[in-house]
Amino acid sequence: MNISQEQWWSQLQEDENAVILDVRTEDEYNRGMIPGAKNIDIYKGQGFIYEVEELDKTKNYYVYCQAGMRSAKACDVMGQLGFDTTYNLIGGMSEWDGPVELPE
């Protein structure tokens, strides 16, 4: 489901079953990410699918990329793999004005 930044962030704050998933490249991720995000690069192709398959399908996934296109694709793929709840951040990091941190 594609949702606005405001809805994505406010819903995330109240969701005790949430996982934040960053599907950008490692280089993009290393330049700044939404706090708490797990990085799985969608450009890894089959590698992306293998890593996503390891995730808990009962969680709610808040997915983002740089502009919202890769994360929309990731949400589609995750839906096909049996994930019930994925939220795509419209506009991605390019329009994000919430908190950002560098990965450790």
For the annotated catalytic residues, the residue numbers are 65
Where are the extended beta strands (E) located within 25-101? 38-39, 60-64, 85-89
How many Cβ atoms are within 10 Å of 34's Cβ, its own excluded? 20
Q: In what order do the strands lie in the sheet with 2-3?
A: 2-3, 85-89, 60-64, 18-22, 38-39
Closest CA to 98 of 6, 16, 17: 6
